[in-house]
Amino acid sequence: MNQDAGNSTPPAQIGRAEPCLWLNPQWQARLPKAVPLAGTRIGLADTQAAAERMARFAPLLARLFPELAQTGGVIESALLAAPALQSALGPAPAHGRLCIKADHRLPVAGSIKARGGIHEVLEFAEGLARRHGLITPQSGPGDYLALADGAARALFARHTVAVGSTGNLGLSIGVAASALGFRAVVHMSLEAKEWKKQRLRQRGVQVVEHAGDYEAAVAAGRAQAAADPYSHFVDDERSLSLLLGYSAAALHLRQQLQDAGIVVDAEHPLFVYLPCGVGGAPAGITFGLRQVLGAHVHCFFAEPVQSPCFMLQMMAGQGAHPSVYDWGLTNRTEADGLAVPRASLPAAELMAPLLSGCFTVTDDALFRRLVQVLDATGERIEPSAAAGFGGPAMLLGTDAGRAWLAARGLLAQLPQATHLVWTTGGLFVPEEEYRRFVYRGRALAT
């Protein structure tokens, strides 16, 4: 690895599409109870409200999706210890322990997008059902089963839920909305994989294909929904409901860490590596983690070298909205869920005091990591989900990363640290497609 990668301002590496690390000079250890976001303020109570909404809908979700029967309608993923993978990743991750937050296994949608996407669909359904007297604010989880019946389905059938997506968010929104009886429309960008489009169509979702990139698909979907008073557009670039749905993962992870005997405090820091596209999902998770675990959790976003939109936005600051195209980058990557040219402004605003840094990875590295994960753990992930596995080496194996650790007094704590890599998708990748991933990864390793 280039030991110079990781300057606090790495424009040369960005423009050359080389892996680099950016460290956030605005990061704050002490935070107010409510953090500013797009003219409002959000705090732990908002994350808890999202989790409570998901809990109210759990019996209904268990009825709609048989794969949720064992969990009673809870959509969550396992926390996996990965000692064999830790050894395979090389010497840098040897400091502390390596774990995987296995969102590639998430049921129903099969990716990290399951929480936020399904949460927004449920919030929209709940609002409609309350306005039409089908449930009340006092209704309990058992009462929500009525939303699978005739009156509710007739109501939902008059409304459309739409979204623009490179794939995974579209799967989340489309599958959930269709199951509840909404008309579901997913605007898919150029990067979207064909198998994801087919999976949506099999669920009765209308797929609208666009020749442009993610940004174009979102703009088209937003404009079409604005012209229809019975259409709700799930706006990946601006949605508070999505972000808070993602943030609810922090509450579950806190319990998982406790159950695993993993302490997070000044002597036992937690480093979290999250794949990032437009930024809503990793920002929501980071917001939740900082609310429940405080200053001892350090979150880093992982992006493709050709699509580092969030890094560029964080470097530019408020008042600017750069595109990866401005830097001569292509926005082309096999990590389709991360192929986004311009970051979410609300997500970047929220992350200003919360995010520790961003780093970039090459597509070749994604495929090599994908195979390493398979060989060491047996877990099957898609290329986007492999982005975070380069985080420990970037942080611990570069001069800039180690200087950052030293400046925060973290070097002495590294033997007791936990490195948590958050995955995205993989569960529903077709066998033939996955074999191609593995073939490419093995070819690169030789």
What are 349-366's pLDDT values in tens digits?
Answer: 999 999 999 999 999 999
For position 39, what pLDDT does the model report? 86
Mean pLDDT computed over 188-214: 87
**Percent of the chain surpassing pLDDT 70:** 97
Q: Sheet with 231-234: list strands edge to edge.
A: 206-209, 183-188, 160-165, 231-234
Residue 5, pLDDT > 70, answer: no
Cβ atoms of 301 and 112 closer than 8 Å: no
For position 93, what pLDDT does the model report? 61
Residue 33, pLDDT > 90, answer: no
Q: Residue 3: how many CA atoms within 13 Å on its side-chain side?
A: 4
Q: List, for residues 390-438, the tens digit of each pLDDT value.
A: 999 999 999 999 999 999 999 999 999 999 999 999 999 999 999 999 9
The 8-class DSSP code of residue 423 comes to: P
Question: How many C-beta atoms surround the C-beta of residue 436 within 10 A?
Answer: 12
- The contacts of residue 143 (CB under 8 Å, 6+ apart) are 135
Of 5-9, 104-108, 385-389, 405-409, the range with the lowest mean pLDDT is 5-9
**Percent of the chain surpassing pLDDT 90:** 80
371 band by pLDDT with thresholds 50, 70 and 90 = very high
Residue 418 pairs in a beta bridge with: 97, 270
Helices (DSSP H) in 345-419: which residue ranges? 345-351, 363-377, 391-396, 399-407
Phi, psi of 336 (to 5 degrees): -55, -35
Question: How many C-beta atoms surround the C-beta of residue 198 within 10 A?
Answer: 12
Q: Sheet with 418-422: list strands edge to edge.
A: 21-23, 357-361, 297-304, 270-275, 418-422, 97-101, 79-81
4 band by pLDDT with thresholds 50, 70 and 90 = very low
For position 94, what pLDDT does the model report? 62
Mean pLDDT computed over 107-126: 94
For position 393, what pLDDT does the model report? 93
190 band by pLDDT with thresholds 50, 70 and 90 = confident
Question: How many C-beta atoms surround the C-beta of residue 362 within 10 A?
Answer: 17
Mean pLDDT computed over 375-388: 97
Per-residue CA distances from 189 to 35, 85, 163, 170 (Å): 32, 34, 11, 10
Given the DSSP bridges, would you call strands 21-23 and 357-361 parallel, antiparallel or unpaired?
antiparallel
Residue 25, pLDDT > 70, answer: yes
Mean pLDDT computed over 373-378: 97
215 band by pLDDT with thresholds 50, 70 and 90 = confident
For position 139, what pLDDT does the model report? 96
- The contacts of residue 149 (CB under 8 Å, 6+ apart) are none
Mean pLDDT computed over 81-98: 83
Residue found by looking up tokens 């322990």 in the block = 97
Specify the higher pLDDT residue, 370 or 109: 370
Q: List, for residues 48-88, the tens digit of each pLDDT value.
A: 999 999 999 999 999 999 999 999 999 999 999 999 999 88
214 band by pLDDT with thresholds 50, 70 and 90 = confident
- Report the CATH number of the 11-110+243-445 domain: 3.40.50.1100
- Locate 309 and state its tokens: 């939109």
Instruction: Decide if domain 113-242 falls under CATH 3.40.50.1100.
Output: yes
Question: How many C-beta atoms surround the C-beta of residue 359 within 10 A?
Answer: 30
Q: Please give the Cα distance from 213 to 350 (Å, whole number).
A: 25
Q: List, for residues 281-321, the tens digit of each pLDDT value.
A: 999 999 999 999 999 999 999 999 999 999 999 999 889 99
For position 2, what pLDDT does the model report? 37
For position 9, what pLDDT does the model report? 56
Cβ atoms of 301 and 308 closer than 8 Å: no
pLDDT, mean over the chain = 93
Residue found by looking up tokens 């268990």 in the block = 62
CATH 3.40.50.1100 residue ranges of the chain are 11-110+243-445, 113-242
DSSP-assigned letters across all residues of 6-69: --SS-HHHHHTT---EEE-TT--SS--SEEEETTEEEEHHHHHHHHHHHHHHHHHHHHH-GGGT
User: In a 3-state reduction of DSSP, which class is residue 162?
Assistant: strand
6 band by pLDDT with thresholds 50, 70 and 90 = very low
Given the DSSP bridges, would you call strands 79-81 and 357-361 parallel, antiparallel or unpaired?
unpaired
For position 291, what pLDDT does the model report? 96
